[in-house]
Amino acid sequence: MQENNSWIFAIGFLAQIFFSARILYQWVASEKAGKVLSPPAFWILSILGSYLLFIYGVLRNDFAIILGQFISYYIYLWNLNMQGRWKKIIGIVKIVLIATPLVATGVMLRDPSLFNDTFFHNKDVPLWLLIFGSSGQIIFALRFIYQFFYSAVHHQSILPVGFWIISLTGSSIIITYAIFRLDPVLILGQSFGFIAYIRNIMIGYNNKKFSVYEK
C-alpha cells in the first residue's frame, strides 16, 4: 500500500457518497410512492459512484473491487438508456463513460505477469481473502444481472424484490471482507445501504400483498 494514500481514500469516499445518495434518493422516493421505484437519478448516481470506485480499486490494487464494478457499470448505462436519459448526454461524455473501464482494463492487462503479481500475489490481500472478497463482489454485482434480465422481460427499468435480497447477501460478504482489509471506504459504504435494502424488501412484499388483496 502506498505510504500517503489519503487522496486515494478521498476518491473512494466520494464514490461511496454517490452510492449512498442513490440509495437514499431511491428509498425516499419509494417510501413516498408506497412501492419500489427505479428513478433515473438512481442510475446517474450509480454511474458516478462506480466510475470513481473502479479508479479507487485500481489505485488500491484491489481486484475484488475492480471486478465488481466492471460487472455492474455497463448495466447502469443500459438502465439509463432504457429510461431515455442516455441520449441526452453529450457525445464526448458518452465516449469517456463507455471507454474508461475498457481502456483501464486493457492497460492493466498489457503486462500479464505484472497484473498477476499486483492482484493475485499481493501481500496485503492473501489469495483466500481475494477469493472471498471477489465472491462478495460477484454476488453484489449479480443483483444488476438479475435486474437487467427482469427489466428486459418487463420492458422497463425495475428494481424487483430479488434485487434487494441479493444486495443484502452480497453486502454482508463485502463488509466482512472490508473488515479484514481494514478498508473504511467499503465498510461505511456498505453499512449505509443495509437499512435501505431491508426496507425496500419490506415495501416490495407489502406492495405485492396489497396487489393480491385488490384482486
Assess contact for 115 and 58: CB atoms under 8 A.
no
What confidence tens digit (pLDDT) does each residue in 165-207 have?
A: 999 999 999 999 999 988 888 888 888 788 889 988 988 888 7
Helices (H) and strands (E) in the chain, counts: 8, 0
**Is the four-CA dihedral 107, 11, 119, 168 of positive or negative sign?**
negative
CB atoms closer than 10 angstroms to residue 150: 16
Specify the pLDDT at position 214. Answer: 45
* CB neighbourhood size of 174 (10 A): 27
Helical (H) or strand (E) element with 158: none
pLDDT score for 4: 63
Residues 28 and 73: beta-carbon distance below 8 Å: no
Q: pLDDT tens digits for 88-130?
A: 999 999 999 999 888 888 888 888 887 777 777 777 778 888 8
- State pLDDT tens for residues 12-29: 999 999 999 999 999 999
Burial class (CB in 10 A: 0-12, 13-18, 19+), 121: exposed
C-alpha span between 53 and 59 (Å, rounded): 10
What local confidence, expressed as pLDDT, does residue 215 receive?
Answer: 44
| Residue carrying the nine cell digits 453499512 | 191
Q: Kindly list the domain boundaries of the chain, sorted by start residue.
A: 6-214
Q: What is the per-residue burial (b if ≥16 Cβ within 10 Å, else e) of 23-54?
A: bebbbebbeeeeebbbbbebbbbbbbbbbbbb
What is the rounded CA–CA span in Å between residue 20 and residue 45? 9
Pairwise CA distance, residues 118 & 109, whole Å: 11
pLDDT (tens digit per residue) in 130-165: 889 889 888 988 899 999 999 999 988 888 999 999
Tell me the H-state helices in 63-126.
Answer: 63-82, 91-108, 112-120
Q: How far apart are the C-alpha atoms of 88 and 90, rounded to whole Å?
A: 7
- Say which DSSP state 111 is in: S
